[in-house]
Structure 1
Amino acid sequence: MARPNGKHISSKLFLLLSCVGLLGVALIADFLWASSSSLTSAYSSLASNWAFEKSGSVVIPKVEKERAIQGKKDQSAGRVLSATYADLPAPELKWEQMATAPVPRLDGSAIQIKNLLYVFAGYGTIDYVHSHVDVYNFTDNTWGGRFDMPKEMAHSHLGVVSDGRYIYIISGQYGPQCRGPTARSFVLDTETKQWGELPPLPVPRYAAATQLWRGRLHVMGGSKEDRHEPALEHWSIAVKNGKALEKEWQTEVPIPRGGPHRACIVVDDRLLVIGGQEGDFMAKPGSPIFKCSRRHEVVYSDVYMLDDEMRWKTLPPMPKPDSHIEFAWVIVNNSIVIAGGTTEKHPVTKKMILVGEVFWFKLDTLEWSVVGKMPFRVKTTLVGFWDGWLYFTSGQRDKGPDDPSPRKVIGEVWRTKLSLQ
């Protein structure tokens, strides 16, 4: 038998190995193509969800960023509180509307003498201030007896107090918007309607706490000349029958906490200072019309009392922070009643929140409570009390039951029967 040719066998083997090799290359190529296609698809999907944003050396996936943003939105939505969050539980009071004032007023001032409420100055609009006095008669529900103020007298942020005949008007802001203060001070004889002048304050003040106590006219706190910085200074001057008995104001013990828009009350030979705020709007730098510019404000609920030794004592605070209440109080049955005001800003929107409660401070027990609700939230109310009725007029009211931010300046007069046990 003839043996196979070695060269022939080698050729067949080479051909077989070549086929196997080609088949292997094809399989590998197919695998690599499939893998590449899969990786490309995966990368495309990944790339659509990742937008690489560098923050230093940190790379943030787009999907994670979107989730974080959505999370913040959800968290923020969870923090958004009801617009009425600041309202405290209070019983309803039955209010009735009386004769509307001749003009609307914001940051006006008022003093009650018997059955008459003397209402001074205030803003009509941010660009217009009143320079006259209107008088409301509680007995017959009428307005009348309008007369002008001195041309040099301030128009808002006044300190005002009365001894039952003479009304003392201290310092305040002269003009509209956020114009500067004046140190000039005046006195009105309500029987003759004649004006006199007092020695000016050592320096001007906005909305300083003002009261008559033990034969002396006391002026303390308020805002300094820039309208924003709280003042601590406290001065007094002896007065009698509408006249100053001294040529200059004397320095007294500083108030523990400065600022404007607080109630200052003398009852049972005790001088109390209630509520108020630190900070206020101030004139925008360089504005030719002294346009108001918002600044940070802190509203507080502090209550201080000046004792016989001329030392300040801290009393129980109000149920919540309250400002713009310098003429929003009356004394009823050895109690202090305060209506309306402003409280801390909304925690999310940062808008001003008006107060719609009537607060009651019992002087015998030093306890606070909420005696009722007002017909709406309102600040800078001018309050009086006559024949068992609690009255208020003027101020700036809210936008509605669900929006406690300020809206309309009013001249309305409202009253409710008030019985305190």
Structure 2
Amino acid sequence: MAVPAAYEFHWQSLARLPSGRVYHTLAEVGGQMYMLGGCDAAGRPCPGLDLYSPEGDRWIGLPPMPTPRAGAAVAVLGKQILVVGGVGEDQSPVKMVEMYNTEEGRWRKRSTLREALMGVSITVKDNRALAVGGMGADLQPRNILQQYDLRKDVWAQLPPMPTPRYDANAELLGNKLYVAGGRQCKRPLKALEVYDTETRSWTTLPMIPCKRSYGGVIWDTAGRMCLLGGLRQGGGHQSSKFTKNVNIFDTNQGAWLKSEETVAMKTKRADFAAAFLRGRMVVAGGLGHEPSALDTVEAFHSQKKKWEMLAPMTFPRCSTSSIVIRDRLLVVGGVNQVPSSAHEILYIKEEEYL
């Protein structure tokens, strides 16, 4: 498939959220987008569950979660959405686990975590959820790996990962679960580790070349992990700085590409939406050296080996939630001084969405 030209990408504003939302979680079931939880304008975690309907361009309110929460980990198991951990109404981690059946339209409480956790990273293998790391109520990171069995409704403890962390990026490629970065007590980590689901063992891989927080992570179709932008930690009394730096790890070679083999983004930014869309890495919005949130968007053309500017978002914002469904990038909510109710979609002009 040919990589689309920059001018072919087009933004369209869709129905705004019922209210401004940030730290919500998006999930796709059967090509439909669900939005779960998040914080409202007052910073309170909410129990909301909303479905976006392209027919009529509207949000449909569904039965709310039994436990209000923000920053929850979500796994889709068949037609069901498993919601794990997050931050509750008392601003503490949550141990409750709940599952929404999209066909029945109702919630069920499931077996809780052994302890309350936020910042859990979750993936799905063979209809089982793999939950890694997290931060406990004592604000300390965890090194746990646990597996949820839907049929038995039980959590099984698997071999712990070498490095305790929360808010890590977890990606499953075949039988390998890659866990990259994350944080310990607000400090970003350079750790990269992989768990083999067949041998049930962890391997430590070459560390991330630079410490960064609030960067973007994109996995391309060649099994490469691309770390983009973010805030680089200053040494000593130096302040953190926005970066446009790009690091790429090739899982086939088990090594990081040399710096001369990567191309830096055009704009220094952090806390942005990032996705692999139609053969391109795309980054949108975020924070940079401007006094307010960014609306700029850029995409990497692998043949030309360069970043190209796309049309800007209509609503500048950072801390958005985003998801790719049917080759379209949906960017939902976020912050522009206050929680945003903006909802936009990036797609190819010729392929009308609505």
The amino acid that maps onto 2:206 is V
Residue 174 of structure 1, aligned match among 103, 114, 136? 136
The amino acid that maps onto 2:132 is I
Match of 1:203 in 2: 163
Match of 1:159 in 2: 121
The amino acid that maps onto 2:325 is W
SS for the counterpart of 2:331 is strand
TM-aligned CA deviation for residue 378 of structure 1 = 3.4
TM-aligned CA deviation for residue 238 of structure 1 = 0.2
TM-aligned CA deviation for residue 265 of structure 1 = 1.6
Query: How far, CA to CA, are the matches of 2:264 and 2:101 in structure 1?
Result: 32
Cα gap change, 1:98 to 1:231, in 2 (>3 Å): closer
Match of 2:195 in 1: 237
SS for the counterpart of 2:12 is coil
Q: Normalised by the size of structure 1, how large is the TM-score?
A: 0.55
Q: How many residues align?
A: 287
TM-aligned CA deviation for residue 196 of structure 1 = 3.5
Cα gap change, 1:261 to 1:125, in 2 (>3 Å): farther
More strand by share: 2
The amino acid that maps onto 1:173 is M
The amino acid that maps onto 2:186 is R
The amino acid that maps onto 1:383 is S
Larger radius of gyration: 1
Cα gap change, 1:124 to 1:374, in 2 (>3 Å): farther
More helix by share: 1
Indicate whether 1:270 and 2:224 are aligned. yes
Match of 1:220 in 2: 180
CA RMSD of aligned residues (A): 4.1
Match of 1:360 in 2: 299
TM-aligned CA deviation for residue 312 of structure 1 = 0.9
When structure 1 is superposed on structure 2, of 385-394 and 195-204 the one drifting more is 385-394
Query: How far, CA to CA, are the matches of 2:99 and 2:242 in structure 1?
Result: 30
Query: How far, CA to CA, are the matches of 1:117 and 1:329 in structure 2?
Result: 23
Query: How far, CA to CA, are the matches of 1:186 and 1:216 in structure 2?
Result: 15
Q: Deviations over 1:151-187 (max 9, x none)?
A: 425212x333345744432213224xx9222222333
TM-aligned CA deviation for residue 125 of structure 1 = 6.8
Indicate whether 1:97 and 2:42 are aligned. no
TM-aligned CA deviation for residue 319 of structure 1 = 2.8
Residue 337 of structure 1, aligned match among 282, 287, 296? 282
TM-aligned CA deviation for residue 256 of structure 1 = 0.7
Match of 2:247 in 1: 304
Query: How far, CA to CA, are the matches of 1:126 and 1:354 in structure 2?
Result: 29
**Map 1:5-404 → 2, pairs under 5 A:** 93-97=12-16, 101=35, 103-105=37-39, 107-109=71-73, 121-123=85-87, 127-129=91-93, 131-132=96-97, 145=107, 147=109, 150-152=113-115, 154-156=117-119, 158-163=120-125, 165-175=127-137, 179-188=139-148, 195-213=155-173, 215-223=175-183, 225-228=184-187, 230-239=188-197, 245-246=199-200, 248-262=201-215, 263-279=217-233, 296-307=239-250, 308-313=252-257, 314=259, 315-325=262-272, 328-344=273-289, 346=291, 353-387=292-326, 389-393=328-332, 396-399=334-337
The amino acid that maps onto 2:269 is D
Q: Which runs of 5+ in 2 are unaligned?
A: 1-8, 20-34, 40-69
Q: Which runs of 5+ in 1 are unaligned?
A: 1-89, 281-294, 347-352, 400-406
